[in-house]
Every structure is written in structure tokens, then in C-alpha cells.
């Protein structure tokens, strides 16, 4: 393959995560989903819990589910256990974010893995305008937080997981399409939302061929969350003074950033691809343990 | 900025690259991570993780755009 | 430069574009008026079984499995409720909550939403048991249709419209015979009561007049074998004397006076 060892390790990690998160293979045979207790825990990545083989829960879906229950905010203040569980999910995401930022995007997330694989398909390649990266923060705010918490379609019912309903391509690809196709028609009544989401999925998959990880950079609310937390993460990238700004790091970066220009970038997924690429060896990981990464001293 | 014949440059300042870097000292970063872990653990203990399971173990068809 | 400027800002309308399906979806799923009186809440498997056994042999049943947190479930419940109430007892609809381990959430729900159909709540254990016994997929909502003999005639995965329920229910054909009573397609009346009671005698007379000697079955609650027979036909064991008229699998109300019996039979016969 000609890739550096670090990158081969990363592909192995992504593959292993895909397998370990999808051990319930039987689900594909009979269009069922796993109902074991492991689904109390979230996968650190975007993978629908309605995927037939998934044995873990999706953190984004879980957040929407919890905050959309009636009386969620009140429940937080009174200590209702079905509200307090949000701390478990948010804490899980923050822990990863504060430890190593968007590292799971590079090393675990199945949908990120898919986009990287699609980009390898030879085609005309397009850059994504830098400002588009703001989109994912709006997706997080509006579709994961505000709408589920506030919008009510039916009186008495809770809210809806709007990110899952109108955006998430991982859900359509790994859950919606398999369940509808395997179960056959009649049982599942596919309607407008299914068509909409299928179109969104196809567009994103096509875009992934022409651009680097477009969903991760422009739409993913999980990436948005981890990116923000990652600005205060322990494990991060460092660029030394010896950098000559040649831009070779950007050429191989899976999220198309020039790390020397955006060292603390919320885009960086800590994949390490840029490290062997730098001709002067100016880039490295740091967890600040050897003292050299201490920002306050500089 | 002075440029040598080889093309390499002398780098006078370290601050020019700190545009997107937050100057948070390492101990604070570690404390934040620890607090998050504590939050996660307490969330699972005080909260009802069955709530996560129950949504994850039953296909909510609307979530996958069906029905 | 201007062109590039516009391109940069495109992310904003791109994200807001996703509000369109939100708006469409919300507008096509509007809620409807709620009924005046709240139906009964039954907890436990026994409750469900007794509801089902009461209906078996008499009328089709719509068994809808749902949970308070499942929005499409909650959205279709009023529609099922309307089918239940508009057909005036010809069809029984039961809403079985198998997704709320905490009864409290269901009680909170009932404070906000009124449904006239009976609601059954099963705890986690019984819900899991039921799911296995009935082979329910891990999907909500699921609706199981039982025909008038009590056997399953179909299932629907996912929410459906009111029209769908009405059509499906109309499509459930009653069998030619009523089990386990008799194979008479004509009027058949069951009279249960103490034979020495004058009211029982009056009911019996009226029944024979309406259905003929052959069309009446009488049962004495003091006889264990008769009680057993009543039980097996899913008929009540208290509130006697009473008379229950049936034509095929369409049964009328339980009548406790002669006048009532007469009017019920008239209502039954087209």
C-alpha cells in the first residue's frame, strides 16, 4: 500500500472498531436488532443503534432521545434518573474530547472510515470552502439540541430526534436501507422522510468521493462537539518552529487542514498522517508529559 | 523575514502560529479530562442507563426514516 | 471575489435547508381532538390476557404495542382510538405499553393525553416475555390484528393511518361458525342465572321467543360444570342473571332485562 506504519495501524483500528461494534451479525439475516445490555454504552463514533449488527448505542441518538423526553430540564433539577443519565453520555463524549479531541473520528468512527475509503476512488477532487466547517456547529445546536428539546408534534408526547430523522446518513445507510431491504416491502412503510434521507445519503457519499471527509467537516455534530472539547485536550498536535510552511502536511491530511496554520484546530482528528510527511520533522503529537508541550511556558 | 540560500527561513517568533491554539496549561487540561470522566461515571450511576438501552434496543422507525 | 464570497456563506442556507423536511413532517402529522373519557388502565399480563379472552370468539381485536417515548406510536394512538370508539364495540382496540419500564411515565402520559381505549402496561419482564411469545420484532409501534376467532390475521410494523386501520378491520372476515358455541349462523342466546329466580325465568322465556328452543343455552351458576362452560365461553361469572345474544360472531351487549334483551337482539338483526 505504501502508507506509513501509523496509517496502516489506523486502518486496522478503524476496521477493528467496525467489527467490534457490529458483532450481532445475525441481525442482518433476520432484519432484527441487538437487544443486549451492551447497548447501554455508546460507541465513540457515528453508528446507528438501529443497524442490525450494532451492539452499542449511538451517542448522538442517545442525547436526542434523553433530552427530548417531557420534563427533561425539570428532571435535571429534581434529580430524575432518566434526565441525569444525560451526564453519562455527555461525560463520555467530553472525556474523549478533553483527553484527545477528535481522535475517535480518525481511529473509530465507521462513517468517517467509509468517507476515507470513498475518497480513494479516482475522480476530480474538490476543496470545501473553509467557512463551511461552521455548518456542523449549527447542526449540533439546532438538530441535536434545540429541536428535540422544544418541538412537539403531538401533545403529551416527547420530542423527536431530528438529526436522526432528517440528516444522519449513517442511520440511512447502516440501518434504514438494510432493514427496509431485508424485511421486504409491506412491513415497513417508507415515506417522505425515507426518500429525503436516501437522497441526502447519496449526495454525501458522492461528495465523499470528490472531497475529503465532507460530512465530518461540514455536518457532523459529534465532530463539532469533540472539536470544541479538543481545543483543551491533553493529546494534541504540535508544530515546531522549524516548519517551512511547505504545505505537504495539508496534502495528506484527511480533513484538509494545514496544521501549521491551525495548530489548535477543531478539525484535527489526531490521525498522525502529517507527521511522517513533514520534510523537516516539525510536526509531532504531544500529551504534554515531557514538558515540551506546556503552553504556558512559551 | 530572512531567507537562506537553501530556502529555509529563520523563524523569529513563536506567536504567529498560535491563532487557533488555546493557552490552557497542561494541569488544567488533565483536570478537565478527569472531571469529564467523573461526570460520565456519575451519570451512569445516578442516572438510569436503561433509558439509553431501551431506545437503542427497540427500533424507533422514525429514527431511520421509515414509517 | 464576490463569487467566492457567496460560496463561503453557502453553509448557512445549506443547513437551514434541513428545516424543510422538518416543516413538512410536522405539518403532515397533526394531532386530533381527544375523547372526553379516559379508558381503563390495566397492569400486568393477566389483565391483557383477560381482555383478549373476553373478545376472542366475539370480535376482532387491534393489539397495538407502543411506548410513551415513541412519537409515531403516540401519534397513531388517537387514530386507533377513533376506530375503537366509532365502531361502537364491534372492534376491540388495546394499547399495550411494552416500552416503559417505569409505570410513572405512562401515568404522566395519561395526564396529558386522553384515550378511550383500554391501555395495558407491562413491566420489563412481562414485556420481554410477551415479545418472545408473540414473536414481536424490536420495533415500535407494532400492531397485531386478531380476527373474531382470536387468531392472528396480520401485522403492521410502524405507524399507520386511520384509514388503514378501518380497512384492515373491515377486511377481517368473521368465520362461518362461532367457536366454541355452536355452528348455528342464526340468533343464539346464552342465559345465565339461577333457575328459581323469576328474572332468570323471564329472560329465558324471552330468549326462547326470540331465538327458538334450539337457539338458547342456559346455565346455572350453582353448578360447577355450568360455571366452567361459561368460563370457557369467556362469559362473565357475576352480575347474573343475564342474557347474551349473538348472531354468528357478532354479539350484542349483555342484557339484564327483557326489554334490554329485545332491543339488543333488534340491533343485532339487520
Q: Is B21 part of the contact surface with chain C (CB cutoff 8 Å)?
A: no
Residue C30, pLDDT score: 58
Per the prediction, chain C carries an average pLDDT of: 80
At C165, the pLDDT band (50, 70, 90 cuts) reads confident
User: Within this chain, do residues A246 and A213 fall inside the same structural domain, yes or no?
Assistant: no
Q: Are residues A209 and A279 in the same domain?
A: no
Q: Using the predicted structure, report yes or no on whether residue C22 has a pLDDT greater than 80.
A: yes
Q: Which of A227, A243, A270 is the last residue of a domain?
A: A227
CA of C204 vs chain A CAs: smallest distance (Å): 49
Mean pLDDT of chain A: 91
Is the pLDDT at B67 greater than 50? The verdict is no
pLDDT, tens only, A44-54: 999 999 999 99
Give B57's contacts in chain C (Cβ within 8 Å). Answer: 138
Neighbouring C-alpha atoms within 13 Å toward the C-beta of A205:
12
* A56-70, A166-180, C64-78, C232-246: the lowest-pLDDT one: C232-246
Candidates C7, C8, C15, partner chain A, best to mutate (most A CBs within 10 A): C15
Higher pLDDT, C216 or C34: C216
Neighbours of chain C (3+ CB pairs under 8 A): A, B
Write out chain C in H/E/C secondary structure: CHHHHHHHHCHHHHHHCCHHHHHHHHHCCCCCCCCCCCCCEEECHHHHHHHHHHHCCCCCEEEEEECCCCHHHHHHHHHHHHHHHHCCCCCEEEEEECCCCCHHHHHHHHHHCCCCCCEEECCHHHHHHHHHHHCCCCEECEEEEECCCCCEEEEEECCCCHHHHHHHHHHCCCCCCCCCCCCCCCEEEEEECCCCCHHHHHHHHHHHHHHCHHHEEEECCCCHHHHHHHHHCCCCCCCCCEEEEEECCEECCCECCHHHHHHHHHHHCC
Residue B7 confidence class, pLDDT cut points 50, 70, 90: low
**Closest CB from B50, B60, B66 relative to C70:** B60
Angle at C209 between CA C204 and CA C214, to 5 degrees: 80
Highest mean pLDDT out of A123-127, C117-121, C154-158, C264-268: A123-127
Q: What does chain B come to in residues?
A: 67
A286, containing H or E segment: strand A283-286
Q: Candidates 3.40.30.10, 2.40.37.10, 3.30.70.270, 3.40.50.300; correct CATH number of C187-268?
A: 3.40.30.10
pLDDT digits (tens, 9 = 90+) for B11-65: 544 444 555 788 899 999 999 999 999 999 999 999 989 889 888 887 766 666 6
Q: Assess A194–B contact: CB distance below 8 Å, yes or no.
A: yes
Closest residue to B58, CB basis, from C72, C140, C159:
C140
Instruction: Give the closest residue to C96 by CA, choosing from C64, C125, C126.
Output: C64
Q: Do residues C210 and C89 lie in contact, with contact meaning Cβ atoms separated by under 8 Å?
A: no
Q: Is the pLDDT of residue C69 over 80?
A: no
Give the pLDDT band of residue C36 (cuts 50, 70, 90): low
What's the mean pLDDT in A164-175?
Answer: 94
Query: Are A26 and A132 found together in one domain?
Result: yes
Q: C31 or C219: whose pLDDT is higher?
A: C219
Confidence band (pLDDT; 50, 70, 90) for C111? Answer: confident
Complex ipTM tops 0.95? no
Check which CATH number belongs to the domain holding A294 and give it: 3.30.70.20
Q: How many domains would you assign to chain A? A: 2
Mean pLDDT, residues A198-217: 98
Which of A227, A259, A282 represents a domain boundary (last residue)?
Answer: A227
Task: Tell me the mean pLDDT in the region A64-89.
Answer: 90
Asked if C188 reaches chain A (Cβ–Cβ under 8 Å), the answer is no
Binning pLDDT at 50, 70 and 90, where does residue A297 land? very low
> Where are the domain boundaries for CATH 3.40.30.10 in chain C?
41-171, 187-268
The domain containing residue A282 runs over which residues?
Answer: 235-298
Q: Which position has the higher pLDDT, A87 or C44?
A: A87
CB-CB under 8 Å, B57 with C138: yes
Residue A240 shares a structural domain with residue A223: no
Domain ranges (residues) in chain B:
24-59
The answer to whether residue B18 neighbours chain C at the CB level (below 8 Å) is no
**Mean pLDDT value of segment A253-282:** 94
Quote the Cα angle for C203-C205-C206, to 5°: 65
pTM above 0.80, yes or no: no
Class of domain C41-171: alpha beta
- Quick one: closest CA in C to B66, which residue? C158
3-class secondary structure, B60: strand
Quote the minimal CA–CA distance from B1 to chain A in Å. Answer: 12
> Per-residue pLDDT tens for C83-108?
888 777 788 899 999 988 888 888 88
Amino acid at each position: 500500500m505504501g502508507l506509513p506504519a501509523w496509517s496502516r495501524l489506523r486502518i486496522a483500528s478503524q476496521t477493528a472498531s467496525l467489527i467490534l461494534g457490529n458483532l450481532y451479525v445475525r441481525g442482518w439475516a433476520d432484519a432484527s436488532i441487538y437487544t443486549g445490555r451492551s447497548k447501554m454504552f455508546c460507541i465513540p463514533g457515528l453508528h446507528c443503534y438501529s443497524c442490525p449488527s450494532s451492539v452499542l448505542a449511538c451517542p448522538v441518538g442517545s442525547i436526542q432521545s434523553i433530552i427530548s423526553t417531557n420534563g427533561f430540564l425539570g428532571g435535571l433539577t429534581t434529580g430524575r434518573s432518566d434526565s441525569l443519565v444525560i451526564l453519562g453520555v455527555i461525560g463520555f463524549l467530553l472525556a474523549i474530547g478533553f483527553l484527545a479531541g477528535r481522535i475517535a473520528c480518525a481511529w473509530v468512527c465507521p462513517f468517517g472510515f467509509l468517507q476515507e475509503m470513498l475518497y480513494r476512488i479516482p475522480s476530480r477532487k474538490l476543496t470545501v470552502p473553509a467557512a463551511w466547517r461552521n455548518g456542523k456547529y449549527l447542526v449540533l445546536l439546532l438538530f441535536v439540541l434545540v429541536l428535540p428539546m422544544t418541538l412537539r408534534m403531538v401533545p403529551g408526547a416527547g420530542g423527536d430526534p431530528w438529526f436522526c430523522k432528517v440528516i444522519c446518513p449513517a442511520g440511512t445507510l447502516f440501518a434504514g436501507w438494510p432493514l427496509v431491504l431485508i424485511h421486504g416491502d409491506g412491513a415497513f412503510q417508507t415515506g417522505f422522510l425515507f426518500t429525503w434521507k436516501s437522497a441526502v445519503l447519496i449526495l454525501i457519499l458522492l461528495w465523499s468521493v470528490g472531497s475529503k471527509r465532507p460530512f465530518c467537516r461540514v455536518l457532523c455534530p459529534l465532530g463539532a462537539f469533540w472539536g470544541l472539547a479538543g481545543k483543551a485536550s491533553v493529546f494534541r498536535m504540535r508544530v515546531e518552529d522549524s516548519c517551512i510552511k511547505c504545505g505537504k502536511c495539508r496534502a495528506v491530511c484527511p480533513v484538509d487542514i494545514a496544521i501549521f496554520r491551525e495548530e489548535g484546530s477543531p478539525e484535527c482528528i489526531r490521525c498522525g498522517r502529517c507527521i511522517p510527511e513533514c520534510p523537516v520533522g516539525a510536526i509531532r503529537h504531544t500529551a504534554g508529559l515531557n514538558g515540551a508541550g506546556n503552553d504556558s511556558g512559551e | 523575514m530572512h531567507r537562506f540560500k537553501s530556502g529555509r527561513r529563520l523563524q523569529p517568533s513563536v506567536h504567529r502560529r498560535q491563532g487557533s491554539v488555546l493557552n490552557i496549561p497542561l494541569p488544567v487540561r488533565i483536570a478537565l479530562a478527569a472531571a469529564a470522566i467523573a461526570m460520565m461515571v456519575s451519570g451512569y450511576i445516578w442516572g438510569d442507563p436503561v433509558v439509553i438501552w431501551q431506545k437503542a434496543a427497540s427500533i424507533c422507525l422514525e429514527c431511520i426514516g421509515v414509517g | 471575489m464576490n463569487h467566492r464570497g457567496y460560496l463561503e456563506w453557502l453553509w448557512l442556507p445549506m443547513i437551514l435547508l434541513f428545516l424543510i423536511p422538518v416543516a413538512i413532517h410536522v405539518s403532515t402529522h397533526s394531532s386530533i381532538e381527544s375523547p372526553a373519557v379516559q379508558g381503563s388502565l390495566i397492569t400486568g399480563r393477566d389483565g391483557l390476557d383477560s381482555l383478549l379472552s373476553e373478545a376472542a370468539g366475539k370480535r376482532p381485536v387491534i393489539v397495538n404495542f407502543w411506548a410513551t417515548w415513541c412519537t409515531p406510536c403516540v401519534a397513531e394512538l388517537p387514530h386507533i382510538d377513533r376506530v375503537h370508539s366509532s365502531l361502537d364495540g364491534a372492534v376491540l382496540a388495546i394499547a399495550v405499553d411494552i416500552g416503559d419500564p417505569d409505570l410513572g411515565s405512562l401515568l404522566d402520559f395519561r395526564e396529558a393525553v386522553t384515550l378511550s381505549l383500554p391501555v395495558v402496561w407491562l413491566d420489563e419482564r412481562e414485556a420481554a416475555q410477551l415479545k418472545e411469545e408473540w414473536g414481536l420484532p424490536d420495533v415500535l409501534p407494532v400492531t397485531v390484528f386478531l380476527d373474531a376467532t382470536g387468531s392472528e390475521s396480520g401485522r403492521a410494523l410502524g405507524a399507520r393511518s386511520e384509514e388503514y386501520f378501518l380497512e384492515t378491520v373491515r377486511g377481517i372476515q368473521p368465520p362461518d361458525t362461532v367457536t366454541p358455541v355452536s355452528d348455528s349462523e342464526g340468533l343464539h342466546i346464552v342465559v345465565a342465572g339461577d333457575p328459581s329466580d323469576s328474572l332468570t325465568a323471564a329472560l329465558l322465556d324471552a330468549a326462547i321467543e326470540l331465538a327458538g328452543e334450539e337457539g338458547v343455552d342456559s346455565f346455572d351458576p350453582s353448578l360447577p360444570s355450568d360455571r366452567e362452560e361459561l368460563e370457557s365461553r369467556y362469559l362473565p361469572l357475576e352480575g347474573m342473571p343475564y342474557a347474551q345474544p349473538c348472531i354468528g360472531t357478532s354479539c350484542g351487549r349483555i342484557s339484564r332485562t327483557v326489554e334490554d334483551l329485545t332491543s339488543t337482539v333488534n340491533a343485532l338483526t339487520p
